[in-house]
Structure 1
Amino acid sequence: MECQACNKDLMGKEYVEKKSKNYCLACFDDKFASKCVECENVISAGQKELVFGDEGHYHEKCFRCSKCKAFLDVNNYETSDKRPVCQKCYTVQLPGGGVCPSCNQSLKSGQPKLEYKGKQYHENCFICSYCKKSLGNERFYSKDDKNICVPCYQQNLAQQCAKCNKPITDVGVKSKGEIFHKECFICYGCGTELSGKSVAAKDNKPYCVECYGKMFANRCAGCREPITGAGGMQYITYQDRHWHSQCFICTACGKSLENSGFNLKGTDIVCPECFQKP
């Protein structure tokens, strides 16, 4: 699996899915990340992003009243000139209101409201599309123009971790066609996290290179170290013995025998010249 922008291998690494395509975190930030309206810095993948209206994007810490700069409650603010304002500033400076698209009743000045995607709702009218529970004080997801509470999203839409079978609601790690929580993608030998590391597999279970070498790999007949194949390492097999390519040398003179002829002298491998010597 590769990043659709830079072709970087994403196996065992964190990535973000965008429109059914996978991107490394750096390419996602470069191509798709929004800029915060308040501080004008990029909102990176993994940072919490608040969306105000159709184009207003904020870091969570930058979501402030455009009038008095007070920090805003994401569940209780108003709108002025397409910018967010606190209830106090709205009530004092901007009397009036609109109509809630859910119940078609008026939105009065000073009344608790929620705004999402350019629409204002009564606090109790902003509800989950599945269970109809109010989302006023809850985290929620938005998918296909539906607003969904966390339990309903996890039950109906979230992918399941191949290890713990619990829903993955944030960044996942994909390996061998399966997806894991970052903390669940661990070596079956020593338990260390494998995200961003070289990974070997045995019976569809991931292992770090060190554990795989100790537990399963053939030993080099030359140096006696494991032959893991990690990083594209080449190796040579002859009869029942195995060598790293750099260890496949004449036992008499040390000449490399890779891509050349060799002979057996007892159990030793030797070059043709050394084989002729008494």
Structure 2
Amino acid sequence: PPQRPAINPYATLPRTNVGPQGRRVNIYNNYTKNYSIQFKKPLATNYGSNKYATMPAYNTQYNNYYNQGVGGKGAFGATSAPKRGRGIFNKAVGPGVRVPLCSSCNIQIRGPFITALGRIWCPEHFICVNANCRRPLQDIGFVEEKGDLYCEYCFEKYLAPTCSKCGSKIKGDCLNAIGKQFHPECFTCGHCGKLFGNTPFFLEDGNAYCEADWNELFTTKCFACGFPVEAGDRWVEALNHNYHSQCFNCTYCKQNLEGQSFYNKGGRPFCKNHAR
């Protein structure tokens, strides 16, 4: 006997993924060394119409192709490693030579002096700026932070950010992304562990994923073709599965069944003529 039709003959009315037509991606600019948020419009690919859809929730204040900012102004950026070095010890200047001024006390230096980063110090003033430290920097070297000089110990203890991935201090280049700070080598896909480099990453529940893993883990797939149901796509929910509207066809003759009655046979849709 023929199979009974689906209880609701309109179960296949198409739906549309509403919202901004695109996805939130985070692009790394290799020239400025900054991440920026962009919304990418769908792109034509060999997957069909667009493989960038069913994106996770995002802030609707951003429009397509809106760039939140670079140079550390946005939520994504990179901070270069602080300058490190050692001061150069210089003998007292001779007669007729301009007497240097100490950049700390602003007094002329009649004896030996130290130069570093284009500035001059009395030897006794070339010290860690931390009032609780004051270590001489001539022999141990310095770390510059916002124009001030610190010893390595004070910089690491009081100023260096902590990597959100490994928990250790970031003494060199610091990558700022998803509201956190990382060693560049620690900012990796939350699933496969691949470094992002200058490739886009995708946010889901506060974690970053590479494109392949995000698509695999979080996109809604069409039961017929296996590819994602993307933002802006018309889609059908039937027989406990999701389909692109153009993919919801009779299993035998491939007649499109969108908005029409269909028959359930073995969990797959059939038109009336081929449901026997």
TM-score (normalised: structure 1): 0.53
Matched, 1:140 2:138: no
Larger relative contact order (CA 8 Å, sep ≥ 6): 2
- Contact kept, 8 Å, 1:12 with 1:173, in 2: the verdict is no
Give the equivalent residue in structure 2 for 1:38.
none
Give the equivalent residue in structure 2 for 1:3.
none
Distance 1:162 1:228 in 2: 33
- Contact kept, 8 Å, 2:76 with 2:177, in 1: the verdict is no
Matched, 1:22 2:41: no
Q: Secondary structure in 1 aligned to 2:209? A: strand
Of 134, 147, 155, the match for 2:157 = 155
Give the equivalent residue in structure 2 for 1:60.
none
- Contact kept, 8 Å, 1:99 with 1:107, in 2: the verdict is yes
Give the aligned residue type for 2:120.
Answer: Q
Give the equivalent residue in structure 2 for 1:129.
129
Give the equivalent residue in structure 1 for 2:17.
none
- How many residues are matched? 208
The CA deviation at 1:222 is 1.1
Q: Secondary structure in 1 aligned to 2:145? A: strand
The C-alpha deviation readout for 1:151-186, integer Å capped at 9, x for no partner, is: 3233223332211122334240402x3232221111
Matched, 1:209 2:205: no
Percent identity between matched residues is 23
RMSD: 4.6
Give the equivalent residue in structure 2 for 1:75.
87
Give the equivalent residue in structure 2 for 1:199.
201
Q: Are residues 236 and 134 of structure 1, via their aligned partners in 2, closer, same or farther at CA, if it must alter by over 3 Å?
A: farther
Q: What are the equivalent positions in structure 2 for 1:108-127 lying under 5 Å apart?
A: 108=110, 111-116=112-117, 119-127=119-127
The CA deviation at 1:208 is 2.3
Give the aligned residue type for 1:242.
Answer: N
Matched, 1:241 2:241: yes
The CA deviation at 1:253 is 5.6
Q: Secondary structure in 2 aligned to 1:120? A: strand
Of 146, 170, 173, the match for 2:173 = 170
Q: Are residues 139 and 197 of structure 1, via their aligned partners in 2, closer, same or farther at CA, if it must alter by over 3 Å?
A: same
Q: Which runs of 5+ in 2 are unaligned?
A: 1-23, 36-68
Matched, 1:185 2:195: no
Of 254, 258, 261, the match for 2:259 = 261
Give the equivalent residue in structure 1 for 2:50.
none
Q: Secondary structure in 1 aligned to 2:153? A: helix
Distance 1:205 1:147 in 2: 36
Q: Which runs of 5+ in 1 are unaligned?
A: 1-8, 29-44, 51-72, 78-86
The CA deviation at 1:100 is 2.5
TM-score (normalised: structure 2): 0.53
Give the aligned residue type for 2:268.
Answer: D
Q: Are residues 190 and 18 of structure 1, via their aligned partners in 2, closer, same or farther at CA, if it must alter by over 3 Å?
A: closer
- Indicate the structure with greater helix content: 1
Q: Are residues 205 and 158 of structure 1, via their aligned partners in 2, closer, same or farther at CA, if it must alter by over 3 Å?
A: same
- Contact kept, 8 Å, 1:100 with 1:120, in 2: the verdict is yes
The CA deviation at 1:115 is 4.7
Q: Secondary structure in 2 aligned to 1:243? A: strand
- Contact kept, 8 Å, 2:249 with 2:255, in 1: the verdict is yes
Distance 1:208 1:147 in 2: 39
- Contact kept, 8 Å, 1:141 with 1:150, in 2: the verdict is no
Q: Are residues 119 and 182 of structure 1, via their aligned partners in 2, closer, same or farther at CA, if it must alter by over 3 Å?
A: closer
Q: Are residues 214 and 22 of structure 1, via their aligned partners in 2, closer, same or farther at CA, if it must alter by over 3 Å?
A: closer
